[in-house]
């Protein structure tokens, strides 16, 4: 069976300030499942291939607030133990038209296109948002165990909501931007011009087997 191997090292420049923890995870391209059973990949009889991926987490936001021992004046230390943001690309399913024999030129060209354009490209797009997100989060300073905010205990919940609402707006904005970028890239990858470069890789008679 033909397979397509790629090793990529993503270099991240920024680090989140405490209490933020930012995780961008993408399953390796080699984890993709190949489905060679369908005559019409993605439900389109004109497609040679189709790939689906799952963006999990979509900027899932979780946090752990804490309060400490009150002072003699009744003021209580408030801070966040952690604030976690999580994105993950996973569940790559690559469909290749069943008319193209495994190992044939048309099969291999389609597989290369699907992995390049619909697995590796989304991984690069997702990872490209990590550093800008960290920069935006670092601009929203939150109280930590070493930089506590002193307030009355009955003010803690309101303070927590205020901070998390601010962080949530940042994460929601990036969530929308990631989704839009993935959709835009998919549309560009499926353009007629892009497919022509795939078709030129093999004799025309191979593509006419469908």
**Helix locations, the chain, DSSP H:** 105-115, 121-128, 130-138, 156-189, 192-199, 204-207
Q: What is the pLDDT of residue 14?
A: 77
**How far apart are the C-alpha atoms of 96 and 68, rounded to whole Å?**
58
Q: What is the pLDDT of residue 138?
A: 97
Q: What is the pLDDT of residue 41?
A: 92
Instruction: Give me the residue label for tokens 């790559």.
Output: 92
Q: What is the pLDDT of residue 58?
A: 58
Q: What is the pLDDT of residue 78?
A: 98
Q: What is the pLDDT of residue 2?
A: 38
**How far apart are the C-alpha atoms of 171 and 58, rounded to whole Å?**
9
pLDDT in 10s for each residue of the chain, 210 residues: 334 333 333 445 579 999 999 999 999 999 999 999 999 897 876 789 999 999 987 568 999 999 999 999 999 999 999 999 999 999 999 999 999 999 999 999 999 999 999 999 999 999 999 999 999 999 999 999 999 999 999 999 999 999 999 999 999 999 999 999 999 999 999 888 888 899 999 999 988 766
């Amino acid at each position: 069976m033909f397979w397509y191997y790629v090793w990529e090292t993503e270099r991240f420049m920024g680090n989140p300030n405490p209490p933020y923890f930012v995780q961008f995870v993408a399953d390796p391209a080699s984890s993709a499942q190949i489905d060679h059973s369908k005559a019409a990949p993605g439900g389109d009889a004109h497609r040679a291939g189709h790939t689906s991926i799952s963006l999990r987490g979509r900027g899932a936001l979780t946090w752990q607030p804490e309060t400490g021992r009150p002072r003699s004046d009744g003021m209580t230390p408030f801070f966040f133990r952690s604030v976690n943001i999580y994105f993950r690309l996973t569940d790559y399913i690559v469909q290749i038209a069943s008319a193209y024999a495994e190992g044939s030129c048309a099969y291999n060209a389609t597989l290369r296109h699907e992995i390049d354009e619909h697995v590796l490209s989304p991984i690069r797009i997702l990872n490209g948002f990590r550093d800008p997100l960290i920069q935006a989060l670092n601009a929203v300073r939150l109280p930590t165990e070493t930089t506590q905010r002193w307030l009355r205990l009955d003010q803690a919940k309101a303070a927590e909501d205020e901070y998390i609402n601010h962080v949530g707006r940042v994460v929601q904005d990036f969530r929308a931007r990631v989704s839009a970028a993935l959709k835009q890239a998919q549309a560009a990858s499926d353009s007629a011009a892009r497919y022509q470069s795939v078709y030129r890789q093999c004799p025309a008679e191979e593509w006419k087997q469908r």
